[in-house]
Amino acid sequence: MTTTTSTRIREFRLPDLGEGLTESEIVQWRVAEGETVELNQIIADVETAKAVVELPSPYAGVVVKLHEAAGAVVDVGARIVSFEVAGEPETDDPTPMSASNEAPEKREPNLVGYGAAVEKGGRPQRRSRTLRADTSMGTPVTTVVGPTAGRTAGPTASPTTSPTTSTPAGPIASTPAGERPRSTPPVRKLARDLGITLDALTGTGPGALITRADVLAALAGTAGSPTATPAAGADPGAEVPVAAVRSSAAGSTLGETRTPIRGMRKHTAAAMVASAFTAPHVTEFLTIDVTETMDLLTELKAARAFDGTRVTPLTIVAKAVCIAISRNPTLNSSWDEASQEIVQYADVNLGIAAATPRGLLVPNIKAAQSLTLVDLARALNSLADTARAGRTPPADLAGGTVSITNIGVFGIDAGTPILNPGEAAILAMGAVRSMPWEYQGAVALRSVMTLSLSFDHRLVDGEQGSRFLADVGTILRKPAMVLTMV
């Protein structure tokens, strides 16, 4: 047997970017078919549910084919590009290795920090479960749902009985007997509300998943759609949601613009719903005179230590939050439902809500409590600039313990912020306004701000939340009072 050097085709599959996500969108390709690339050369910008990430090439060679177009949403583990790689030894076996007969690699070793490739399409496998079909017209049919979905067998054989073949009763539906049609909880609820039976529908989504569009198409009787039948027990005169009727009206757009829900918007929506319906929110408000804080900012901007560093009210609020947490540590904790434990953190990983062209991000500053005021100001500036540019690394979006949202920049005074999932508190700082205020026994024009604190009432009692908010207010009202707190 002789060994020669030739080329072979190597496939690159979308890696797990270390965030536990199952899909990503290809924002743009930085290479074209036929182009020669080097190892670790950036070949694409990929948007996860949290940030835009630069994707390096795991091989040096020639780009043979780009399997997905820019703008496509791709599952983790799906192939996205094929390379022709030179200089690899191969035997005198006359059958060349090709991309189609290679087993997917367990790991892309050159993508440092990206983790192992996800197998089986990059999605978690559902646990197998056994469902019973209707037994009214014969031997029950047992269907296994999960990794072996789609296979229907007769009753489970036992040592004393032999299996018998059964014939499904009634018309053949689009899903195997006894198996619940594949759909998401919101789609199932919509179908119930509209009186649509999912068993009669054929899903057009990935893996025959029944989508919202399939349900609405059945309602409208769109050509080519399966005939919808009323759900058992549904009230024929039940009121149909106006939005559903409007969306399903054939040929009627009503000036609507529809945008696919994906990427950051999809992640943000899921996170906010999970937070709002998991953590019992309590929100408290405090309006304070921050004139002395605004005077302090003027002095800091003129100080040599802050030369070239942008200092804003957010800088002072961030430092005040770190000091107040040292006195009220329960606000720097999380609820571990699985282990039934409350986890209290030593470091304050301070999240800052940032509005970006791609949606809301909450990157965080690690161990913010250990930073000096000038270092904290620089960290805040860097964090904001990186977020607006869409280049926030995944590591900066994970591990936050408490957050601040600055709604004052939009001219808003107060609100009821929703907790970032996994955190115990979020503080909203309102706009600084010149207002008549009681000062030294008289009415004077002062700079006034409203603080809004939302906290998880499972973790934080009313007393603890109130003391924290009062501490932050004290620091902003009289910055010199911080000397009594540290």
Q: Are strands 333-336 and 341-344 parallel, antiparallel or unpaired?
A: antiparallel
Catalytic site includes residue 457: yes
| Unique residue bearing structure tokens 């630069």 | 54
Instruction: From the candidates 67, 267, 281, 457, give the one annotated as an active-site residue.
Output: 457
Q: Output phi, psi for 306, to 5 deg.
A: -100, 15
Q: Which one, of 50, 45, 46, lies nearest residue 21 by Cα?
A: 50
Q: Are 189 and 164 in contact (CB under 8 A)?
A: no
Q: Are 396 and 363 in contact (CB under 8 A)?
A: yes
d(CA 133, CA 416): 48
**Per-residue 3-state assignment (H helix, E strand, C coil) for the chain:** CCEEEEEEEEEEECCCCCCCCCEEEEEEECCCCCCEECCCCEEEEEECCCCEEEEECCCCEEEEEECCCCCCEEECCCEEEEEEEEEEEEECCCCCCCCCCCCCCCCCCCCCCCCCCCCHHHCCCCCCEEEECCCCCCCCCEEEECCCCCCEECCCCECCECCCCCCCCCCCCCCCCCCCCCECHHHHHHHHHHCCCHHHCCCCCHHHCECHHHHHHHHHCCCCCCCCCCCCCCCCCCCCCHHHHHHHCCCCCCCCCCCCCCHHHHHHHHHHHHHHCCCCEEEEEEEEECHHHHHHHHHHHHCHHHCCCCCCHHHHHHHHHHHHHHHCHHHCEEEECCCCEEEECCCCCEEECEEECCEEECCEECCHHHCCHHHHHHHHHHHHHHHHCCCCCHHHHCCCCEEEEEHHHHCCCCCCCCCCCCCCEEEEECCCEEEEEEECCEEEEEEEEEEEEEEECCCCCHHHHHHHHHHHHHHHHCHHHHHHCC
| Unique residue bearing structure tokens 């390379």 | 83
Q: Are 173 and 199 in contact (CB under 8 A)?
A: yes
| Catalytic residue numbers, as ranges | 457
